[in-house]
Amino acid sequence: MKILDLSPFSLKRITKLMARGIPKAFAVPVGASGKGPWRMSQVKWVVFAVPGRYFESLGLIIPWISTA
């Protein structure tokens, strides 16, 4: 079994994904990824954890998501 040496930033991402209902088995590899926010925004489990409705509730306009 491999023991991961995760940065505090990765641990925070993993914790937040799990708090939003993503199973640990998926949250750990996604959260430990070195990808930046732009690339992470297209990852399946991140999209499930933070759907477009969340950003719309903040008043943000997402041009590629149709609300009609």
Predicted local distance difference test score (pLDDT) of residue 16: 92
Mean pLDDT to the nearest integer, 11-17: 91
> Which among 21, 20, 44, 19 has a CA at the least distance from the CA of 30?
44
Tell the residue number behind the tokens 């990824």, with chain if given: 33
Predicted local distance difference test score (pLDDT) of residue 1: 44
Predicted local distance difference test score (pLDDT) of residue 39: 85
Rounded Cα–Cα distance for residues 65 and 34 (Å): 26
User: Is the pLDDT confidence value at 4 over 80?
Assistant: no
Domain boundaries, the chain: 8-57
Predicted local distance difference test score (pLDDT) of residue 54: 82
Rounded Cα–Cα distance for residues 28 and 17 (Å): 9
The H or E element containing residue 56 is helix 52-57
* Top-confidence residue, 68 or 47: 47
